[in-house]
Amino acid sequence: MKLPSSIKPDNMKNLVNHFPQLLSTLQIESSILDAAREFHKDGLNGICFLGMGGSSIAGNYARALLSKESKIPISVTRDYLLPTYVDDKWVVIAISYSGNTEETLSSLSMANETGSRIIIMTSGGKMAQESKHPIIQLPEGLQPRAALPLIFSAVLPVVESLAGLKITDFQYLEEVLVNKSNTWNEWLSTPQEIAESFIGKTPIFIGSRHLAPVAYRAKCQINENSKALAFHSELPESNHNEIESFVKTNGCSILPVFLRSGLEPTKINRRFDVTYEMYHEMGLNPINLSASGDTRLEEMLVLTHFLDMVSVDLAELRDVNPVSVEKIHELKHRLNI
């Protein structure tokens, strides 16, 4: 399967603009979903994602989204090791866009030894040679972090099939995201305005429940695309520790960015409001970014698309190349010496 001809792999803004289209680019072979349904019928004790960096985030999104519907646990492992509780009654979904991520290859080898049922998602590399397992072949040519919508469009239907749930319509979601991106300035500031507010500041993205992984994704995108410091945290947990650290004597330039859902339950809504008030009183000038969508999934993807664009606009303001990841390449080079 090929990528749309309008995609320019060396242009991150172009890739972010194609976020909605990438949600509906991949067509999963029916045999893969049939295998997942058979795994469900046979009975399974859990689903474990293996992956690193941009390849692993789709697992976080699926776990957060399906936490209310799935009756089996979903875990995400970013390590050389496979958790000891993952055995032959678990399904392991190993994701590496390149197919050569050493941590994922290591934990995948352990999954092979335990007899776990395995599904692989990759564009090639060593993982594509795992011929004894079902493989979802991802099209080549993307930066791994830009492949999130592509990977997620494969991850979610597979997990839904494994959990015995209705499969999501990604064609519809593409239309939703295109329409929302055309009206960003009506319900949010523009991405460039948010990016400008980050100059001289260190954003900390704060989410809750289904928007917690969106906060993590935003942090990663600012790190990789913008070459800037950023952090993430989660409510209500951060109310029990982090809030004590924001004092003037720390000399920090933290900018809290609250990712707000229109579906917040009363207690979470109250915590966000009070935390925002306190941070404002501390002189931190926090930002509220309210997700726009009729469902949790729409909120997650719409806000992710918006924040991806913020990271690219911030890269332009900082005059850095959002595609380049020289330090990551240098680290890998030193590890292989």
Residue-level pLDDT at 250: 64
CA 59, chain centre distance (Å):
7
SS3 of residue 2 by DSSP: coil
- CA-to-CA distance for 136 and 29, rounded, in angstroms? 8
pLDDT value at residue 251: 64
The residue annotated as part of the active site, out of 240, 248, 267, 333, is 240
* Domain ranges, ordered by start, for the chain: 12-170, 183-318
For residue 147, the one-letter residue type is A
Answer whether 174's CB lies under 8 Å from 21's CB. yes
> 244 catalytic, yes or no?
no
Q: Does domain 183-318 have CATH number 3.40.50.10490?
A: yes
Question: Which pLDDT does position 183 carry in this prediction?
Answer: 87
What is the predicted pLDDT for the residue at 247? Answer: 77
| Selected catalytic residue, list 224, 234, 242, 298 | 224
Consecutive sets of 10 residues in the chain, 337 residues long: mean pLDDT of each?
87 97 93 93 96 93 94 96 96 96 96 95 92 91 93 97 95 94 83 96 97 98 98 97 81 90 97 97 93 93 97 98 95 89
Active site residue 332: yes
Q: Which alpha helices (H) appear in 47-169, and where do they start and end?
A: 57-66, 102-114, 148-162
The CA angle 35-40-42, to the nearest 5 degrees, is 95
pLDDT of residue 292: 84
3-class DSSP assignment, residue 139: coil
Asked if 12-170 and 183-318 have one fold, the answer is: yes
Question: Amino acid letter at 267?
Answer: K
Question: Using CB atoms within 10 A of its CB, is residue 203 exposed (0-12), middle (13-18) or buried (19+)?
Answer: buried
Question: Looking at residue 248, what is its pLDDT?
Answer: 66
240 assigned to active site: yes
How high is the pLDDT of residue 336? 87
User: Cα separation of 242 and 125, whole Å?
Assistant: 41
Flag whether the pTM goes above 0.85. Answer: yes
78 Ramachandran zone, left/alpha/beta (phi>0; psi -120 to 50): beta
Query: What is 12-170's CATH topology?
Result: Rossmann fold (3.40.50)
